[in-house]
Structure 1
Amino acid sequence: MFYFSVLLLIAAVTLLVLKRRSIVDFRFATLTGLLVGGVGLLFALGSFSYVVEPYEVGVPTTLGSVGDTWQPGLHLKSPLTEVTTFSTRPSDLNLTGDDTVEVRSSEGGVLYVDLTVKWAIDPDRTLALYKLSGSAANVQQRLVLPDTREIVRNVFAKHTSVEGYASQREAISTEMEKLITDRLSPRGIVVNSVNLRNVKPSEVLQKAIDQKIQQDQATQQAEAAVLTAKAEAEKRRIEAESTAAANTTIANSLTDRILQSQCYEAFRAAAEKNPVYASPCGSGQGGAPVIVDGSKR
């Protein structure tokens, strides 16, 4: 801007000189010279000031020397000073579509990862960030993007395909957010969140994962069947032991006198309704037959 204002002022002076020498039309030279000179003066005055917009931080450089950062507001400067601004508003790095990250699991399976990194510039670390990137446009391309890709690949490489695809996605997302934050924070980049949006296996890996899931389900069903069979066998063993114990108790308690007494009671109950004829009760000396004639015939 400063050099442009100098050219305008030179042009204005030239027109006024030509007017005095009557080389050009008097009115044209006067009006044009004043107009060009006024514009040049405005540009010249503008080259001595700079306005940093809200939610921005400016980094001034003068002939290769980097100055302290400028906060939002009006700042006076040398015409030779260039100002590089950095926006402090949150930004999103969307790794999806053509930017999807291709990773490999610990088993060598190929997975395609979609994620979003929400980041922002730390205003207090803008000067260090300028020295690393050179401009705001380079922050994402030179720092956030390559570091994120590297960390995503390294994290997934520590997990199996099934863990990365299904069982450990939440743990993987948490681990990636921590590592990305630890990597970018010292450089002046604040990581607000890392959202693992989708993990898609390749076609070959998808078939292998489906087969592995089916095998796991079959194994679980077989293990459940074995547990059921063991439970049934244990139940039958307990029932058999209970029956044997009961039979032993009964056998030990039924003596000949008890059996003979029960036999007498049975015949007595039967004789009240029907005639009962000779039938032995017990055996041995006490096993004489009992004859009951309920009809008195």
Structure 2
Amino acid sequence: MQSTIRFLLVSGFALGASGCTPHSTGSTEVGVRVAKVGLFEPKGVSPEPYPPGATYFFAPVINDFYLYDTALQNLVMSRDAGAGNRYGDDALYFKTIDGNDISVDVTVAWSIDPPKAPYLLQFVGPNTQSVEEKLVRPVSRTLIRDVLNSLASEQFYDAGIRFKKAEEAAALLNHYLNPEGVLISQVLLGEHRFNERYEQIIRDKKVAEQDAARLSSETEAAREQRRRELEQAKGVVNQAMEEARGEAQQKRIEADAIYYQRQREAEAILAEQRAKAKGIAERARALSGAGGRNIVKLKVAEALKGKPIVFVPTGGMDLRTTDMNDLLQTYAVVKGSSGDGGAGGDSSQ
């Protein structure tokens, strides 16, 4: 009986093998085969995935073939209906560290690790969509929420902090999902929303901060303008001072030159007057002796030269007291000296 059953199974397998059907993988797909009957191999999931871009032939009854898309997938969780993978509000809702309710749109870029496709078929789901719904989505929502609720409300307005937290969430997801056959490429944080009342408070605060920053900037600009104007005024004053100093120095040099010239002129005049005074003094000394009286007599004789001398006794002149000899002698000397240029016989007269 057992041999009969075995024969029938082998016959059925042979008939199935003779009618193998093709199974193809796309350019971004890997295949996983499941042996439903363990006749020539162990029953169950084949441990090696079938590479992309090829066609494989299997018996249709005793084998199942599953495809997984290994291209990059985007899990979009958004508040806007129709914008995400699910219709309706699918954003992440949680509380900030300071207790405010917030919702954040999140996109997770992920892909299947091809060698782990058989593992995913065994423990997660038979296709890419099931992997997203059963594994990627619940784990992503949980871990990203845990990362973001450590932020204060105002920190969500800082793009740098949000980017840093998105990178932290991606690293945490890879830590837990890589062993399960899922690779996380990036986590993107989209629009965030607080409740309406808190949103208005935040907007008013941001407007006030922007106004304060603008006023501070304008004040600093005005202060800088005044500083530039002061520096320009200092430059003008310094230039004027330098010009005045140079002009004063020029005037001083010119005055010193004039003073030196006048001093030299005064010294020359003084020297000339001293020489004249010295000459007068010397002449006075010369005239004070006997030679001086002779010079006076000579001058008188020169004054009487060529003039007739008539002695008329009057009551005002006493001839008896006049030294006529001396006078005539002096007159003769003058006359003789004036006639030296004439004939030699004039000296006997």
Report the equivalent of 2:47: 68
Q: Any residues of structure 2 matched to 1:161-172 within 5 Å, and which?
A: 161-165=153-157, 167-168=159-160, 169-172=162-165
Report the equivalent of 2:198: 205
Report the equivalent of 1:271: none
1:1-45 CA deviation, whole Å, 9 max, x = no partner? Answer: xxxxx9xxxxxxxxxxxxxxxxxxxxxxxxxxxxxxxxxx89x94
**SS of equivalent residue, structure 1 residue 94:** strand
1:220 aligns to 2:213 (yes or no): yes
Q: Any residues of structure 2 matched to 1:95-244 within 5 Å, and which?
A: 95-96=77-78, 97-136=88-127, 138-165=130-157, 167-168=159-160, 169-235=162-228, 237-238=230-231, 241=234
Q: 1:116 to 1:240 in 2, by over 3 A?
A: closer
Q: 1:225 to 1:56 in 2, by over 3 A?
A: closer
Q: Hey, what's the Cα distance between the residues in 1 that align with 2:242 and 2:183?
A: 81
Q: 1:124 to 1:249 in 2, by over 3 A?
A: same
Q: Residue 208 of structure 2 aligns to which amino acid in structure 1?
A: Q
The answer to whether the Cα contact below 8 Å between 1:165 and 1:201 also exists between their aligned partners in 2 is no
Q: Hey, what's the Cα distance between the residues in 2 that align with 1:53 and 1:192?
A: 27
Bigger Rg, structure 1 or 2: 2
Report the equivalent of 1:273: none
1:76-124 CA deviation, whole Å, 9 max, x = no partner? Answer: 5995x7x473422544423123321114444433332223334332221
Q: 1:50 to 1:92 in 2, by over 3 A?
A: farther
Q: Hey, what's the Cα distance between the residues in 2 that align with 1:84 and 1:200?
A: 45
Where structure 2 has 5 or more consecutive residues not aligned to the other structure, the ranges are: 6-11, 38-42, 79-87, 256-349
**SS of equivalent residue, structure 1 residue 99:** coil
**SS of equivalent residue, structure 1 residue 128:** helix
**Superposition deviation, residue 216 in structure 1:** 1.7
The answer to whether the Cα contact below 8 Å between 2:21 and 2:59 also exists between their aligned partners in 1 is yes
Q: 1:93 to 1:240 in 2, by over 3 A?
A: closer
**SS of equivalent residue, structure 2 residue 89:** helix
Q: Residue 114 of structure 2 aligns to which amino acid in structure 1?
A: P
Report the equivalent of 2:76: 94
**Superposition deviation, residue 145 in structure 1:** 0.7
Q: 1:248 to 1:98 in 2, by over 3 A?
A: closer
TM-score normalised over the length of structure 1:
0.53
Where structure 1 has 5 or more consecutive residues not aligned to the other structure, the ranges are: 1-5, 7-40, 262-297
Aligned-residue RMSD, C-alpha: 4.3
TM-score normalised over the length of structure 2:
0.47
- Identical aligned pairs, as a percentage? 19
1:176-202 CA deviation, whole Å, 9 max, x = no partner? Answer: 444434442332123455444433333
Structure with more of its chain in strand, by fraction: 1
Q: Hey, what's the Cα distance between the residues in 2 that align with 1:68 and 1:208?
A: 58
The answer to whether the Cα contact below 8 Å between 2:70 and 2:113 also exists between their aligned partners in 1 is no
Report the equivalent of 2:323: none
Q: Any residues of structure 2 matched to 1:40-51 within 5 Å, and which?
A: 45=16
Q: 1:194 to 1:179 in 2, by over 3 A?
A: same
**Superposition deviation, residue 217 in structure 1:** 0.8
Q: Hey, what's the Cα distance between the residues in 2 that align with 1:70 and 1:248?
A: 91
Q: Hey, what's the Cα distance between the residues in 1 that align with 2:195 and 2:131?
A: 32
Report the equivalent of 1:58: 32
